[in-house]
Structure 1
Amino acid sequence: MGKTRVLAAALVTALLATAGCGGPAPGGKGDDREAGTIRLLTPIFEGADGKKILEDQLKTFKDSHPKVTVEVDYTSYAKLNEKLTTSIASGRPYDVMLMGVGWIPPFAAKGALAPLDEQKSDLSQRFYERAVDPGIYDGKVYGLPIMLDTRFGLYRKDFFAEAGLSGPPRNFAELRDYARKLTKRDAGGKLTRAGLDILSNDLRQTFLPLLWANGGDLFTADGKPAFNSEAGVGALQLMTDVIRTDRSEDFGFTQSGAAGGPPLAQGRAAMMIGHNNVWQAIQETAPDLIKQDKIGFFMIANERPALFQGGTIGTVSAKSAHPAAAKALVKFLASDKPSLAANEQRGNVPALKSLATSEYVTGNKAVQFAMENMDSAHSEGGVPAWLEIRGDFKATVESALLGKKTPKQALDELATTAQSAIAKG
């Protein structure tokens, strides 16, 4: 059993132990008073710069909520689940918890989160509706979006021009065809440029936009695995063909975090499925590519266009001793100035519609592209067992890309494992 599954199992046990305790912890001042010391757990606002950004924002919060004191615990997404689980098991959960898209059902289903005093219809006026949906479970709003992480297609316009390609691919057939035309190998067959980089991005987050673009879904409306449908198999088959049949990319050639910036900036890839902050990385490592307008974007599309949308959501513990103060902090962090500051630091996408005209967004074409295509955004998760299931996607995709299993075999096996996790509740 992997670490992710162990943590997920521990989370379920801890939540079951605390879910029946009902009401705020002793000493709470009640929902009608915004006062008290609240503990905030955040995986964003990293490093010294991030800490200063958050502290500056919290000074503003303090001005309007003088009776509230905020104690901050900084962590990373890699350690977030463990931190949350430990705090819940100890009987002293954080008051405000920033967590990822897909995390709401696992926590809300076990009674760990408090519903917020919000209505989806009202939130959808201020935020992109697709950004609001991941914060809802069983018809109740449990979280507010603070920032979005998106994945879509990026390409080098100069390489396309050299290959005689006038624009980005419009479907899977063109995506694969363009990748073959853009791939370069030397006389000895060594890869010098990948036509399509699908490996430097997280494999789950590469597969999912392809799944959605092919008309598929992660789960059915009643919570059963659907990613092994014909659409899902077709999406994984495309990835497998890019690697094994077309040889448009080799394992180890395009590495995430390599010196010199992303493969697209290095000229080691002509196209990629990647994160919106690739733009920021190119600005830092190869700014001339941006000045010369050599970076373009495209939606992953086949049966429909699809944009992967992850992100960070603010939530309140059901056991907070000061729920009114905690809810006030979540609303503040999701408001324009704090969320803009958080997004600027990470090169991410604001969830607030009003920020589309901000200087930050108008100066970042990747963020602009994501915000312009939010109507085609899809989010992962959707079932309470998601934190157990998601960690198995990487091995599943790799087994197909390495030729150990067919795409159908790989996804069917994962569906069986996922259904078992779902059935356990």
Structure 2
Amino acid sequence: MKRNLAISAASVTCCLSLLLSGCGAGSGSASGGADKAKTGESVKPAAAASTSSNEKVKLTFWDENAGPDRTPFLQELIKRFQEKNPNITVEYVGIPSTSNKQKYDVAIASNDTPDIGGIMVPWISDFAAKGALLPLDDFYGKWSDKDKLSKGLIDYNKSLAPDKKLYQLPTTMYLDVFWYRTDWIKDAGLNAPTTWKDFFTDAEKLTDASKNRYGYSIRGAGGSIVQLTNAMYAYSGIEHYFGSDGKSTVADPKNVEFLKKYVGLYKKNTPTSDITNAYKEMVATFDTGTAAMIQHNFGSFNNHKQSIDGKFAATILPKSDSGKRITAPTANGYGIFKNTKHPNEAWQFLAFLLSADSQTYWNQNIGQMPTNSDALTSDYVKNSQHIQEGAKVMADKDTVVLDLPVYLPDYNNIMTQQLEPNFQKVMNGSMTPESFLSGWAAAMDKAKADYDKSIKK
């Protein structure tokens, strides 16, 4: 899977280099789209989003991460698409992130899938192996704007599927960062958490439990392992998820060292409630002034902007002692399900979501980075500190993209069903860091062995 790593690193660097150079592959019309998006005026969608048919068609669309921070903007995009295509109705179905994979699994098992829906990167291999998704290669190959998306991103997504076909097209990208209170850091005379030493120092020095103020907040519930993986490998500097011997590097002594220090913050420099905090609760601790720092990705930017505008900033997770910065960019998007009775209309909607104007509107409202090269020239991108920070990091020769084994069909289930509850046991002291990481490594080793065996058949 080292080939996948090279593709992923190249694709992300290609996209982010556009931010640094200020140029794009297209006409640069996305800036105008961004201005219109702010006022709610309609914007010109991709040419492929138009239809000449008068047939009345209804599409069901599943949003895999529904909530007040995202739903209104997808509904606005649906409204714009329907105005352009009055014969197509798109029914929006919002699924909370806490139950999204379960909802999809049940739908696939019962053969009751939507026409189109949000597909996270770790799901591509699983859904493709189950035959749930429609290959997009033919649609994408004939799409007039296909050169606006990085070839590296497309090739990487193909590499995740057992048959190497294209099943998901990304509309947004993000990296993990430490969001931190710039005012607290300044008032305390501390450094921003741009090194691991400063991070742990800040977490300690900014804690004043008597005032209900803590230096950090740990995500202890849903989604905890994604963030833990990114932080752990960033600290250890280990460049590959599986070593040259084919075994997982998760239980490496440097990862054990990090986990002990990290969990040592719990209840001392973090709120006690962290053990049950998922995304919303963790973000709230930061935005309400309870925590000085949290780890998340670009996606929570607008939450912080609404609550503490001018008092926060982001830094990509620090370099390790080796001098390498290990990071794991993610590019999520949408796929069409094989059971759809309207593949052409579903593609029209997907092409609309992929357009520069749609991507600019969508990403500026959720605080993430577009994948369309024209959208990368928008004013939103140029003026976003966290995205510019990401661009500089990805252009750094010492940055290494971690080759997460998201191609393993069991990857997501291991993360959510085994590791999330076990991480809470580590936090409450009923499981040791060594035992937790050993069990994690064993599960991934078995998943890889099963996968390797299956592809040899």
Structure 2 residue 258 is matched with structure 1 residue 232:
no
In 2, Cα distance between equivalents of 1:198 and 1:421: 28
AA of the residue aligned to 2:433: P
SS of structure 2 residue aligned to 1:252: helix
The residue that corresponds to 2:317 in the other structure is 299
Q: Which amino acid aligns with 1:344?
A: Q
Secondary structure, aligned partner of 1:395: helix
2:284 corresponds in structure 1 to: 262
Pairwise CA distance, 1:106: 0.8
2:334 aligned counterpart, secondary structure: strand
Report if aligned partners of 2:82, 2:89 keep a CA contact under 8 Å in 1: no
The alpha-carbon distance between structure 1 residues 82 and 45, as it changes in their structure 2 partners (threshold 3 A), is closer
2:425 aligned with 1:399, yes or no? Answer: yes
Amino acid of the structure 1 residue aligned with 2:125 = P
Residue 272 of structure 2 is matched in structure 1 by: 251
Please tell me the root mean square deviation across aligned C-alpha atoms, in Å. 3.8
Larger mean Cα displacement after TM superposition, 51-60 or 393-402: 51-60
Alignment of 1:38-53 (within 5 A): 38-43=59-64, 49-50=72-73, 52-53=75-76
1:210 Cα deviation after fit: 1.3
Shift in Å, 1:383:
0.9
Opposite residue 427 of structure 2, the aligned amino acid is: L
1 CA distance for matches of 2:92 and 2:447?
33
Change (3 A) 1:148 1:223: farther
Out of 90, 106, 110, which is 2:130 matched to? Answer: 110
- Paired with 1:408 and 1:330, the residues of 2 have a C-alpha distance of 45
Take 1:69 and 1:402, find their aligned partners in 2: how far apart are those partners? 49
- Determine if contact 1:277/1:366 at 8 Å carries over to the other structure: no
Please name the residue that 1:369 is paired with: 389
What letter is aligned with 1:409? S
Q: Please, which of 53, 59, 62 is the counterpart of residue 85 of structure 2?
A: 62
- Match of 1:212? 233
In 2, the alpha carbon distance for the partners of 1:422 and 1:61 equals 46
What stretches of structure 1 of length at least 5 have no aligned partner? 1-32
Counterpart-to-counterpart distance in 1, 2:90 and 2:78: 10
Verify: 1:359 aligned to 2:382, yes or no.
Answer: no
- The 1:228/1:325 distance shift into structure 2, 3 A limit, reads farther
Q: Deviations over 1:361-388 (max 9, x none)?
A: 3444334434554565658523111231
Partner of 1:281 in structure 2?
Answer: 303
Alignment partner of 1:176 is 2:200: yes
Partner of 2:436: 410
Q: Name the structure 1 match of 2:110.
A: 90
Structure showing the higher strand proportion among its residues: 1
Aligned CA distance change for structure 1 residues 77 and 248 (closer, same or farther; 3 Å): closer
- What's the offset of the Cα at 1:265? 3.8
**Partners of 2:237 and 2:325 within 8 A in 1:** no
What is the 5 A alignment of 1:337-356?
A: 337-356=357-376
Instruction: Report the AA paired with residue 239 of structure 1.
Output: Y
Q: What are the Cα deviations for residues 162-219 of structure 1, in whole angstroms up to 9, with x where unaligned?
A: 333344332x33322332233334xxxx464322333378422331211331234545
1:401 partner amino acid: M
What is the DSSP-based 3-state SS (H/G/I as helix, E as strand, rest coil) of the residue aligned with 1:168? coil
* C-alpha distance in 2 between matches for 1:253 and 1:91: 38
Distance in 2 (CA, whole Å) between partners of 1:296 and 1:85 is 35
Distance 1:180 1:89, change over 3 A: closer
| SS in structure 1 of the partner of residue 296 of structure 2 | strand
Q: d(CA) in 2 for partners of 1:364 and 1:343?
A: 11
Larger helix proportion of the pair? 2
- Cα distance change, pair 238–124 in 1 and its aligned pair in 2 (3 A): farther
**Deviation, structure 1 residue 280:** 1.6
Q: Work out whether residues 44 and 342 of structure 1, in 8 Å CA contact, stay in contact via their aligned partners in 2.
A: no
Query: CA 1:132–1:366 in 2, change beyond 3 Å: closer, same or farther?
Result: farther
2:217–2:271 CA contact under 8 A, matched in 1: no
1:312 to 301, 308, 332: 332
Change over 3 Å in CA distance of 1:43–1:353 after alignment to 2? same
Q: Which residue number in structure 2 is paired with residue 241 of structure 1?
A: 264
What secondary structure is seen at the aligned counterpart in 2 of 1:193?
Answer: coil
Secondary structure of the corresponding residue to residue 228 of structure 1:
coil
CA drift of 1:75 comes to: 3.0
Q: CA–CA distance in 1 between the matches of 2:208 and 2:174?
A: 31
- CA contact under 8 A between 1:184 and 1:192: conserved in structure 2? yes
TM-score by length of 2: 0.68
SS in 1 for 2:217: coil
Extract unaligned runs of 5+ from structure 2: 1-51, 452-457
| Residue of structure 1 equivalent to 2:410 | 385
Separation in structure 2 between the aligned mates of residue 336 and residue 239 of structure 1, nearest angstrom: 40
User: In structure 2, the residue corresponding to 1:267 is in which secondary structure?
Assistant: coil
Q: Does 1:272 align with 2:294?
A: yes
AA aligned to 1:58 is F
Q: Percent identity?
A: 20
TM-score, normalised by the number of residues in structure 1? 0.73
Task: Give the Cα separation in 2 of the matches to 1:265 and 1:405.
Answer: 31
Change (3 A) 1:174 1:295: closer
Aligned to 1:155: 180
